[in-house]
Structure formats: C-alpha cells, structure tokens
Structure 1
Amino acid sequence: MPESRSLNDTAEHLYSLIANEEDARVCTDLPDEACQEVPRNFFLILASNVLTKLGDLLISPKTVLAWLLNAVGAPALVAWLVPIRESGSMLPQMVIGAWVRRKPVRKWFWTLGALGQAVSVTGMAASVWFLDGYAAGGGVVAALVVFSLARGFCSVSMKDVQGKCIPKGRRGRLSGLATTLGGSATAILTVLLFWDRGEPSMLFYTLLLLLAAGFWVVAGMLFASVDEYEGETSGGGNALRDAFNNLGLLRTDPPFRHFVITRALLLCSALASPYFVLLAQKQEDSAWLLGVFLLASSLASSISASVWGWMADASSRRVMIRGAIIASGTCLMVGAAGLFLGEQVGGRWFYPLAFFILSIAHAGVRLGRKTYLVDMAGGNKRTDYTSVSNSVIGLLLLVTGGLTALVALISDTAVILFLGFMGLAGTVSALRLKEV
C-alpha cells in the first residue's frame, strides 16, 4: 500500500509539472471522483499510446509488411496493405460506436482492441515463418484485416475514455506528449534494429513481429488499469440500425458536417507521403534511403507533436489551419519542382527533407482534428461523432485512393500536385470552422 501511495504521489507531481498547475487535480468538466484520478490515468493512457506507436513502427505497411510480402514471394498483394490498414479500421466504426455507446465503462473495448491486434500480428509472424509464397502473403493480409477491425475498437473508445478521464485543456497535451515520446522511441528503435544490418533474415523479421505483438499486450494491460467512472448510456437497440441513424448527424448537425468535409480534404497530408518516397526511390533505390525516411518520420513526430499539442489546447482549429498550410504548400512546392525542373531535382536530400516537413504538418493536422473532435462534443455525442466521422472518412479514403491511382497514370508529380490543391481547399474549409 505505501508503495502504491508513493507511485500515486510521483504521478501527481509529474503531472503537475506537465500540466503547469499547482493543483494537478484542477479540472472543470469532470466529476470530482474522476479529477482525483487524473494524474494516474494520464500516465497510464500515455504509456499505452507510446507502446502502440512502437508496435505500429514494427508492422508499418509501407515498410516492414511490404518488404515481407515481397520476400515471401507475394509482391502483388502489397497494393492491398495500406487501404486495408487505414480503411479497415474506420469503415465499421458506426456499428462499433453504437455498441460502445451502450456501455457505461468503455476502457475494456480499447483493451480488447489491443489484444486483438496482438493476436493478429502473431498470426502474421506465424504465416511468414511456416508458409511460403502467396499462402504466406494471404495469411499476412488476412491477419491485417483482423488487425484493422481490432484497431477500430481502440479508435472509437480512446477518445471517449480520454474525454471522461482527462480534463479539457490537457487532452492535446497528452496526445502531443504521447506522439513526441513515441516518435523519439521509434527513432531509437529504428537505429538499433535496422542500422548497418545489411539484409536481415526471415527469422529477424518474424521476431520483430512478435516483439510488436508484445507491445500491444502490455499496452492493453496498462489501459485496463485506467480508473474510468461510469458514463452516459443510451441506444439499447440494434447496433447496425443505430449506426445508420447516426448518419443523420451529417444532415442535422452543420458544424459536425463542416468538420467532416474539412477532415476529408486534409487527407492530403497522409496520402502524399508515399509519393515522396517513390520519387526518392527513382533517384536512389537503397535500404539506407528507406532508413532515412523512417528516421525522418519519427523525428518529425518527436520534434513537433508536443508543440502542436500545447497549441491545440489553446485552439485546435488554428493547429489544423497551420498544419494544412504547411502540408499543401509542401506538396505544391514539390509538385511544381518536379513538373518544371524534372523529378530528379534537388539531389538525394530533397525528397527526404520535404517528407520531413510534410510529416510535421501531418502531425499538426492529425492532432488538431483529434482534439477538435473531442472538444466539440460531450457525453454520447463524442462517441457518435468519432464513429460516424471515421466511417465516412474510411469510405472517402478508398475513393480518394482510387482517384490518386488514376492520376498516378499520368505521373507521381501529378498526384502530389492534385493532393496539394486538395489540401489548399482543406485550408480554406478549416478557416471557416468555429472555435470550440
């Protein structure tokens, strides 16, 4: 008991330093009993987020999984990795959200999602180790479908649990700190695991997947320890029916509809990144260059996320606007350079540097819209907003992916320009959002 009290005192002291307030329990939008547990919950949620970010690095569809499918002899399946990873976790969220909404305590959905991701990644490792060719590739893709569905539970429940356990004005700080710590840890892990290793064996990558699964198991156990008070419940009917009823929010709630449109336009910051990598690979196709991009992504998050988080606590709308301006400007600059000066412009560092800047912008857009969504809603609306928004964006992501695939028939530069103008439209839309 004394040890537990000492840990709580330590958490409270650290939280007071991070929150920059003398009383770490000061909060205005949470019940008194929830305020007492804010410091402990803050660090449990923080640790869970950092561990999942490490796991995400080790099973990145754009790097590790793509390499694995090519190595086992199933390169044609690589094209399915990113769409399944992103949209698979978003599209079912209306149904998941309606189910989550009926439960007074929702942390268990996040824990279930984390354990589901651990099981699916273990399935990937087993497929790679025991199977060959398209059997192994098919096993990885099938496991990724399960992974994405499990991730949907985490996405819907995280914002709601965070809204119930962390006071307004500290949520952006939590997200920013988690991204900063996660980015720093992934940068260190990247260097330790990939630097000057040559061509790792299949055993190495199998163990890498098992390590990622372990991160999710520990994260789920930590999140299960969050002290969440019971919240509102409603909608005891059929989850699918409730989910389609929630789509009416897009018609009846103009501020929410405007937010979803803005978020859709700002997909440019996520979709443009692979094309920067493709252009760089045309200049130099090497493992060293891939490592540079991995480090650029990690360093961009660690350097910028806490700054974005503090700014989001003041105005998440302005964070979205600034991130959108940087993202669209970077895309238009790179696209114009490729169009007028040729895709070999700038030498070996041009595209990694542009990718680094775009990653900083994407961190701002992502953190700003997450904080904006949590702050603009309360009670069950928070869960409804999250599930409807993610489901709609998941569908639009597939549509936009199809459009970029068509534009890519012209050139990679044309895709970057298209996404740059899309981001410019998103910037204008974000300027018209109301402060929350």
Structure 2
Amino acid sequence: MSASDTSFSTSLFETLTGDAPGNVKELSDSAAQHEPGSFLRHVGSLSMTKLADGLIDPKLVLSWLMQAVGAPAALVSWLVPVRESGSLLPQLFTAPHVRKMPQRKWAWAAGSLIQGLAAAAIVVIALTMQGMAAGLAMLVALGVLAIARSLSSVSYKDVLGKTVDRTRRGTTTGIATSVSAAGVILFAIVLMTGVVERMSLVIGAISLAAVLWVAAAALFSTLREEDQPGEDKGSIGLSELSLLWKDADLGKFVIARVLLLPTALAPPYIVLLAAQAGDNRFGALGAMVLASALASLLSSYIWGRLADRSSRKVLIFTGLVAAAFLALAVVLGWSGLMGTIWASPVALFGLMIGYQGVRLGRSTYLVDMSPKDDRAAYTAVSNTTVGVMLLAFGAASSALAMAGPEMVLIVYAGICVVASGVAFTMKEVSE
C-alpha cells in the first residue's frame, strides 16, 4: 500500500469511525498498523455481499422468479428453509477445517466466489429451463449457494476479530448494511415503477449479484491477515456442541438468539394478515423489497454504533422493539385497520428495524465474547444450533398458522419479550 493510499485510508477511517488509528484494545501491533485499510476492505466486501443478498432474496425475488418459470408452489415453499438452514447447519463441520488454516480470509473468499457461481447458475437455469425441472435445479443451486455462505460465515468473525478492533466491529457491519440497503432501495424503486420489464430486471439483478460476490472475494483476499498456526482439535464437528454447556455465556447467548428468531420469521405472517384485510398492494414485490431495505438503511449504522458500546443492550432493546411492532400488527388486524394503505408498511418496517438490530447485536456480541483462538468454533456452534431450531420454529409456526396469522404473531411477540429478558441476564462484553 502506498503512502497516499495509507493517508486516504486513514482519513476515511477516521471519518467513518470517529476514532484515530492505533487506539486499539486487542489487536497486535502489525494488525493495528493496517487497521484503516482492513476496515475499508471489510466495509467494501460486506457491502457487495449484502447487496447481492438483497438482490437475490429468496423470500421475495427468487420466489417470484420460480413462479415466473412455472415451478410448482410446493417447490417455492422450500426456498427459505433451504437458504437459511443450508447457511447455518454445515458450519459445525466446516469449522474444524477452517481452524486449520493459517489465514482464514481464504475460506471467506472461496465461499463468496462459490456463491457468485451459484447465482450465475440460477440465471442460466431461469433462461433455459421451465416448470418442475427449473424449480428443482434452482433449489440445488440455492443449496450450493447456502453451503458456500456457511463457509464464509464461519470464517468471517475470526478474520474480523484479527483485523478490526472490538470498538469498531459493529460500525464495520453497520456501514456495509446501510450502503447495501441503498442499492436494494434503488432496485425496489425500479421494480415498482415498471420502467424495466420485470423478468429482465430480476434476471439482471441476480446477474449483478453474481458479479458482486466474485468481486467481494477478490477484494477480501487482499486483507492483511496475520498468519497463525493452524489448529487441529479434531474433525468430529458434533463434539463442539459441548461448548454450549461448558461455556455458560455462550449457552445463554444461543438461547437469546434462538428466542429472537421470530424477528426473521414473522414478516410473511404480517403480509398474510394484510392480504386477508384486503391490502393486496403491499404484496407487490417492489413494495416488500422497499420496506425491508428502508428499515436496513435507516437503522443499521445506528445499531452498529450502539452495538460497539453495548451489544448486549442492543439485543435487549431490539427484542422489545420487535415485540411492540408484532403486537401492533395484531391490534391493527383486530381493529380492521390492517387493510389501510399505511398499516402493513408501518408494522413491517418497524419489525425490520428490530431485525437489523438483532443481526448487528448478535454478530458483535459473539465476536467480543468468544476466546480469540476459538471464534470459528463458537460461531459454528451458535449457527448450527440456530439452524436446527430454525427448522423447528418453522414447523411449529406452520401448525400454529392454522389458527390464523394473528395467533402466530401473538406467540412471536411473547417470545421476543422473553428473549429480551434472557439478553438482560447476559454478561456485558463490550467494555
């Protein structure tokens, strides 16, 4: 890196973080010296991958695309479970292999590259196949993408912990989330205006996502990550589950994270409640994408800064925020107001603000509470456990939904309140 690059990186670093380089708590001298450049590389890489995630969103974009190519509805219903569980469940088994790597940035870069290739495969499938065959092929490609995402996820927090100091990690994620949200908002606006034929726009968006993942892999590979001896603690991933009861702090964190799952699972039930009330306008693809992206853009940087001060308090507060807006959705439904033009957007927007806080708070808390040499293992145990519980939540919610979406939202609101209570008892790790 040239002197001018270093000067620019340092200046931009100070502007974004409000802090001076070298003011670190746990980085090595070498890592502290290169922290401004590392910080910007993290922001750039995460911005691209988060934007790619928004452009290929299985809940919205891929669901519409599968229907457009004539895939059966039964296959469409598998998109979110494949995406979410595929991203989380493999991590317990990939973590031992990641820990053997002296530089774990290569695991993240490989995962991002494979995600790009999988997204490109989805584009090819959409252009060349129809019906059941197209649906099955897309699910396979999405499964590959999800597994690759798990590789990036299990390695990322360890690399972040080695290259960016603890007081700035939440800011890193918050900035990237806000930048990517701006791009998704632009995509949503174009969708809503109809200036571009919808099929062409969706195909173009997924193609762009593929390019972004590949570019992020290239950028992330330039990080200055210090070598460390590869660890070999055994290849039986299930043995890592003992961390849940050996480390009470990790166990309590995982319980809180599981109890906050309704923030991710509730949006479809709000949309269903609105549709039953006659607000079909908000079911449009563009409006859904816009609501989620606006919440991300307006809240992520603030949540990130707050998480750097106390990620535990962020988890407490976001659970209460989510519970409040879930309860609001139920009240609006019971009062007959959910069919108005403002009701469902307000409820979904507020819930998504809480969801963004949960994502940033849990990520920052896990990095800060994990032992320096075991971050990959702690991340894998947490994510794999949550992946299993995600499937259980999904099955239970589907059964509960037979009593109506209001019942699901009431239960979800109660669970979020309990989650805040559990987070209140967690150890403070941001000091």
Q: TM-score scaled to structure 2, two decimals?
A: 0.95
Corresponding position of 1:59: 56
User: Percent identity, aligned pairs only?
Assistant: 38
Contact preservation (8 Å) 2:271, 2:282: no
| Residue from 358, 366, 369 that aligns with 1:365 | 358
Structure 2 residue 316 is matched with structure 1 residue 318: no
Cα distance 1:202–1:363, how it changes in 2: closer, same or farther (>3 A)? closer
Q: Gaps (5+ residues) in structure 2?
A: none
| Residue from 422, 430, 434 that aligns with 2:423 | 430
1:258 partner amino acid: K
Corresponding position of 1:275: 269
Structure 2 residue 216 is matched with structure 1 residue 219: yes
Cα distance 1:204–1:330, how it changes in 2: closer, same or farther (>3 A)? closer
C-alpha deviation, 1:190, in angstroms = 2.4
Measure the CA separation in 2 of the matches of 1:25 and 1:66: 47
Corresponding position of 1:408: 401
Measure the CA separation in 2 of the matches of 1:298 and 1:122: 23
C-alpha deviation, 1:71, in angstroms = 1.1
Q: Deviations over 1:387-427 (max 9, x none)?
A: 00000000000000000000111111111111111111111
Structure 2 residue 349 is matched with structure 1 residue 352: no
RMSD: 1.7
SS at match of 1:248: helix
1:435 partner amino acid: E
| Residue from 79, 82, 90 that aligns with 2:88 | 90
Q: Superposition pairs for residues 28-427 of structure 1, below 5 Å?
A: 28-74=25-71, 75-191=73-189, 193-197=190-194, 200=197, 202-231=199-228, 233-235=230-232, 237=234, 239=235, 241=236, 243-282=237-276, 283-286=278-281, 289-338=284-333, 340-342=334-336, 345=338, 347-427=340-420
Q: Deviations over 1:23-47 (max 9, x none)?
A: 3132120111111110001111101
Contact preservation (8 Å) 2:178, 2:301: yes
Corresponding position of 1:12: 10
Contact preservation (8 Å) 1:110, 1:154: yes
Measure the CA separation in 1 of the matches of 2:202 and 2:117: 17
Q: TM-score scaled to structure 1, two decimals?
A: 0.94
Q: Gaps (5+ residues) in structure 1?
A: none
Q: Deviations over 1:69-118 (max 9, x none)?
A: 11111122111001111111100100111110111210001110001101
2:272 partner amino acid: L
Measure the CA separation in 2 of the matches of 1:200 and 1:371: 40
Measure the CA separation in 2 of the matches of 1:313 and 1:202: 41
Cα distance 1:139–1:287, how it changes in 2: closer, same or farther (>3 A)? farther
Number of residue pairs matched by the alignment: 427
Contact preservation (8 Å) 2:326, 2:413: yes
Measure the CA separation in 1 of the matches of 2:199 and 2:178: 31
Cα distance 1:62–1:254, how it changes in 2: closer, same or farther (>3 A)? same
Measure the CA separation in 1 of the matches of 2:283 and 2:378: 42
C-alpha deviation, 1:48, in angstroms = 0.7
Contact preservation (8 Å) 1:328, 1:419: yes
2:33 partner amino acid: Q
Runs of 4+ in structure 1 off by over 6 angstroms are: none
Measure the CA separation in 2 of the matches of 1:416 and 1:6: 54
